[in-house]
Structure 1
Amino acid sequence: MGESRVEKIDVSGAVSSWNPAYLKTAIEKSDPVPEQKNDPDGIRAVVAGTLGRQSKKVSVREVPDGTLTR
């Protein structure tokens, strides 16, 4: 990012299979592994908080497994 301004953060993937806890702790180090959970707002909050951005700057969208979006 450097001196560039961040206008939007896009989180895309199999969102319905993620748990916001996945983004806080490496799955390999989780004991027990967090259950799958459809929580786009939780994912948005974790990403925004970790990056120090407002939640409204983060979009979370479901795309099928294996779909290349960017």
Structure 2
Amino acid sequence: MYSDQILPTTKTQVGESRVEKIDVSGAVSSWNPAYLKTAIEKSDPVPEQKNDPDGIRAVVAGTLGRQSKKVSVREVPDGTLTR
């Protein structure tokens, strides 16, 4: 799945279900919020890496139609987005 497909796919699967918390965890310090809107895999030029957890939170909340306070963004040592 391309990076810009993650949130729309999640939104389709969750639909109107109640969501208590959204956890974004992984190598968030090396991601750019733009990666979740435009596929990094197809971008030319690729947007630079950027440590912007608040930007990631805003994109996730906005795309999923949820409140930002329900989205936590945290760095984990394994270097991959896990959720």
TM-score range, shorter chain: 0.7 to 0.9
SS of residue paired to 1:27: coil
| 1:18-53 Cα deviation digits (max 9, x unpaired) | 000011011122111011100000000000000000
TM-score, scaled relative to structure 2: 0.74
Runs (4+) of structure 1 moved beyond 2 Å? 1-4, 65-70
**How many pairs does the alignment contain?**
70
Task: Name whichever structure is richer in helix by fraction.
Answer: 2
Which structure has the greater CA radius of gyration?
1
CA RMSD of aligned residues (A): 2.1
| Conservation of the 8 A alpha-carbon contact between 2:25 and 2:75 | yes
| Conservation of the 8 A alpha-carbon contact between 2:24 and 2:81 | no
Instruction: Go from structure 1 to structure 2 and tell me whether the alpha carbon gap of 1:50 and 1:67 turns closer, same or farther (over 3 Å shift).
Output: closer
Please list every run of 5 or more consecutive structure 2 residues that lacks an aligned counterpart in the other structure.
1-13
TM-score, scaled relative to structure 1: 0.87
Instruction: Go from structure 1 to structure 2 and tell me whether the alpha carbon gap of 1:68 and 1:43 turns closer, same or farther (over 3 Å shift).
Output: closer
